[in-house]
Amino acid sequence: MGKQTVALKNPPSITAGACVVGKKEGDGPLKDSFDYIGEDSFFGMRTWEMAESEMQKTALREALRKAELTPSALNYIFAGDLLSQCIGSAFGMREMGIPFFGLYGACSTMAEGLALAAMTIDGGFADNAAAVTSSHFCSAERQFRFPLEYGGQRTPTSQWTVTGAGAAILSGMGVAPYVTHVTAGKLVDAGVKDANNMGAAMAPAAFDTLTAHFTDTGRAHDYYDLILTGDLGELGGDILLDLFAREGVDIKSRYNDCGRMIYPRDTADSNSGASGCGCSAAVLMGHVLRGMRAGKWNNVLFAATGALMSTTSSQQGESIPSICTAVSISNMR
Amino acid sequence: MGKQTVALKNPPSITAGACVVGKKEGDGPLKDSFDYIGEDSFFGMRTWEMAESEMQKTALREALRKAELTPSALNYIFAGDLLSQCIGSAFGMREMGIPFFGLYGACSTMAEGLALAAMTIDGGFADNAAAVTSSHFCSAERQFRFPLEYGGQRTPTSQWTVTGAGAAILSGMGVAPYVTHVTAGKLVDAGVKDANNMGAAMAPAAFDTLTAHFTDTGRAHDYYDLILTGDLGELGGDILLDLFAREGVDIKSRYNDCGRMIYPRDTADSNSGASGCGCSAAVLMGHVLRGMRAGKWNNVLFAATGALMSTTSSQQGESIPSICTAVSISNMR
C-alpha cells in the first residue's frame, strides 16, 4: 500500500448510522432516507447553535439505539463541525460521558471521523467508536456570511449549507458494510480566493486524494459502484470530472456528489448545490448506507472535502486551503 | 486496562520536538529551552494570523531537522489551534504535502495530537507522525476578546495567551522518551460561564481524566516524577489540587502547570498565568522534553486541558464544556 492509503487488517463494521435534517432537506428527493426531520430550524432549542448541537445528540442517540449499544459501549467519539471552536460538537456531546476527540475538517469531517474511528478500532484501541458531525444553515450563514435578517443575495457558485447531522457507529464486529481503506488527504491550495466558490477550491483536493487512492490500491475507478464526493456541488463536481478527463479517465458513470443529491436540482435557492458537514454525513448515513445494506451498491469510495478558510483569512485576502479524506466502504470484508 | 486508557504495545518514540515562541515568552524563565524566539509578533508576515501559521511551520521544520527526516517521511500530521476554523494549522501546514488530520481541542490540542499520532503509529498505520499546534496572543485577543487597540482591562482570573508553537515527531523506532499510555478525556461541564476564568472551567475535566488514568493504570500519582497540566494557570491549578485533596490525595509535590511556568509569576500582566495551545506545546517540547532527555524526569503525565467555548456560546449565556486528554511519557519503554 502506498503511503497515503492504509488497508485495514480487520475492516470495522459500520454497525449503525443515523441522520437528522431540517425541513428543507426533508422536503427533498432523499426524504425517505432520513431518520428524523425537524419541523422548524430550532429543534426545540433557544438558538440555532444549540439546535445544531441537538441534531448531533439526536443522531448519535438514534444510531446507538439501532446498534443496540449504550453510550458507555463507545470507547471514543470523533466529532467536529463548521462553527468557530466547534461548539456544535462540544455542546452536542457534552452530556454523553464518552471519551471525545474534537476534529476540524470543515465539510470533510464525516470522512475524517470515519477514518480515525476505523483506525482506532483496527489498531486495537477501541471496540466501538462513533463519528458525528453537523451543520445548520442559520448558524453557518450568520457566522460565515451575513445575518439572515440582512437578506443577502447569493452568487450562482454558492452552495446552500445543509441543516443536518449524521452519526456512525463503527465496531470491530458487526454487519456489512465495512470500512476497508483510509486515504488521508494532503492540504491542497489551488489559489481560489472566492469563499462563495468552495467547489472550485475543493475539487483539486478531491482529485489529489482520489488519484492517490487509485494509485495506492491499484484499483481503477470502475472498481467502485459509487465514487461519492461531499460536497463539491454542481460546479466543483464538474471541475473534478474535467480534472480526471484530462488524464483520460472518465469517472462520470460512477460519480455523484452529496451536494447534488439532497435538494431538488436547478431550484433558485440552492444554486451550485448543498454543502456543510451535515450534508455528506446525512447523505452517507441515510441514502447511501441504506442503499449499501440493500445491495444497490457494494463498493463505495466516500471522499469528503473541506474548505479550510475562515472569514478572517478571506478578509485578509488569503486563498482557500482544502482537503479531501477518502474512506473505502465495502459490503465485502 | 480500563476503557478510557490504552497502553501502547510498542510505545512510539518522541524522536524530536521543537518550539517557537514570541518575545515575551523568550524573556521568561524558560527562555533557554526554546528553539526560536521571535523578535516581534509578526515573524516576518503581514498579519498575526499568518504569523501564527509561520510559527507552526518553523516548529515543524526544526523538529524534522532534529529528527533527520524529510516531510515525506511523515505519514500524518495532526494539527489544530484556537483560531476559528483552525486557520493557524491549515495555512501553516498547507505547503508541507503531508496527509493532514485537523483537530480542535482548544488548549488540549498538543495532547490530542500526541495521542492520535501515537495510536496511529502503534496501530501499524504510520512509521512517523507529527503533532503540531500554536497560539498567538494578538490573534487570540482579537478573536476571543477585544481588538488590542481597545486596551481592554483584564480580570484577575484571566490567562495570557502564549505566542508560541510546538511540534513533536513521533516514530515507531527511536530514542526515549516514549508515549506509553493515552487517556482520552470526556467532556466535563462544571457550569462555569465566565470565559475569563477558564482555569476554573477546566480543572474538573483535568481531575476527571487524571482520576481515570490512575484508576485504569493502577498507578498512584507518585508513580510520576511530574504531573503536568496545561493550562489551568494559578487558580485552576489550585482548584485541581483541592479536588485531589478532597479525595485525600496530595499531588502537590509532583504537580506543575504549563501556564505557571512560561512567564515570571506574579507579574501584573499575566494574572492567573498563561494559556493557549502554544503554551503547553512549547513547554512540553522545550523545557520538559529537554529535562526528560537529561534524566531530570523519567515519568511524566502530560494532561492538557481545553475550554471548548466560543464567543457565540458565551454571548448566548452558555457554560464552558471542557476536556483533558492525558498522555503518559516515559524514558522506559
Cell output for B304:
492538557
Question: Is residue A268 located within the same domain as residue A296?
Answer: yes
Question: Is residue A41 located within the same domain as residue A134?
Answer: yes
Please report residues of A whose CB lies closer than 8 A to that of B309: 85, 87, 90
Please report residues of B whose CB lies closer than 8 A to that of A46: 316
Residue of B nearest to A93 (CA): B187
Angle at A262 between CA A260 and CA A265, to 5 degrees: 50
pLDDT at B73: 97
Give the pLDDT band of residue A268 (cuts 50, 70, 90). Answer: low
CB-defined contacts A:B, below 8 A? 179
Question: Is residue B182 located within the same domain as residue B153?
Answer: no
The answer to whether residue A1 scores a pLDDT higher than 70 is no
Residue B86 gets the label, from left (phi > 0), alpha (psi -120 to 50) or beta, of left
Nearest to A98 among B106, B112, B186 (CB): B186
Please report residues of B whose CB lies closer than 8 A to that of A319: none
Give the pLDDT band of residue A282 (cuts 50, 70, 90). Answer: very high
Chain A closest-CA separation from residue B126 CA (Å): 8
The answer to whether residue A2 scores a pLDDT higher than 80 is no
pLDDT at B154: 82
Whether the ipTM is more than 0.90: the answer is yes
**Partner residues linked to B323 by β-bridges:** B306
Angle at B161 between CA B159 and CA B163, to 5 degrees: 150
Percent of chain A with pLDDT over 70: 98
Q: Which domain holds residue B234?
A: 178-330
End-to-end CA distance of chain B: 17
Please report residues of A whose CB lies closer than 8 A to that of B97: 186
Question: Is residue A113 located within the same domain as residue A256?
Answer: no
Cα(A120)–Cα(B308) distance, rounded to whole angstroms? Answer: 23
Question: Is residue B130 located within the same domain as residue B277?
Answer: no
Q: Which of A150, A171, A192 finishes a domain? A: A171
Residue of B nearest to A49 (CA): B313
Question: Is residue B214 located within the same domain as residue B288?
Answer: yes
Q: Which of A221-235, A269-283, B195-209 has the lowest mean pLDDT?
A: A269-283
Regarding predicted confidence, which is higher, B18 or A145? B18
Nearest to A112 among B50, B101, B311 (CB): B101
Q: What is the pLDDT of residues B61-114, one digit of tens each?
A: 999 999 999 999 999 999 999 999 999 999 999 999 999 999 999 999 999 999
Q: What is the pLDDT of residues A159-205, one digit of tens each?
A: 899 999 999 999 999 999 999 999 999 999 999 999 889 999 999 99
CA B130 to the chain's CA centroid: 14
Regarding predicted confidence, which is higher, A207 or A146? A207
Sign of the CA dihedral B265, B266, B270, B272?
positive
Cell output for B314:
458565551
The answer to whether residue A11 scores a pLDDT higher than 90 is yes
Largest CA distance in chain A: 52
Question: Is residue A131 located within the same domain as residue A228?
Answer: no
Residue of B nearest to A8 (CA): B125
Mean pLDDT calculated for residue range A308-317: 95
List the one residue out of B51, B50, B32, B33 whose CA is nearest residue B41: B51
B288: CATH: 3.40.47.40
Q: How many domains does chain B have?
A: 2
Please report residues of B whose CB lies closer than 8 A to that of A84: 84-85, 310-312
**Does the pTM of the predicted model rise above 0.95?**
yes
Question: Is residue A17 located within the same domain as residue A147?
Answer: yes
Q: Which of A171, A191, A215 finishes a domain? A: A171
DSSP label of A184: P
Give the pLDDT band of residue A240 (cuts 50, 70, 90). Answer: very high
SS3 assignment, position A222: helix
List the one residue out of B126, B110, B132 whose CA is nearest residue B174: B126
Cell output for A132:
458525528
List the one residue out of A276, A283, A278 whose CA is nearest residue A302: A283
Nearest to A102 among B3, B103, B313 (CB): B103
Please report residues of A whose CB lies closer than 8 A to that of B96: 186-187
Question: Is residue A83 located within the same domain as residue A105?
Answer: yes
Q: What is the pLDDT of residues B22-37, one digit of tens each?
A: 999 999 999 999 999 9
Nearest to A87 among B85, B189, B312 (CB): B312
State the average pLDDT for chain B: 95
Cα(B290)–Cα(B28) distance, rounded to whole angstroms? Answer: 17
Instruction: For chain B, list residues with pLDDT below 50.
Output: none
pLDDT at B132: 98
Question: Is residue A186 located within the same domain as residue A210?
Answer: yes
The answer to whether residue A269 scores a pLDDT higher than 80 is no
Q: Where are the beta strands (DSSP E) in A41-94?
A: 76-81
Question: Is residue A149 located within the same domain as residue A234?
Answer: no
**Partner residues linked to A181 by β-bridges:** A7, A328
Cα(B160)–Cα(B148) distance, rounded to whole angstroms? Answer: 13
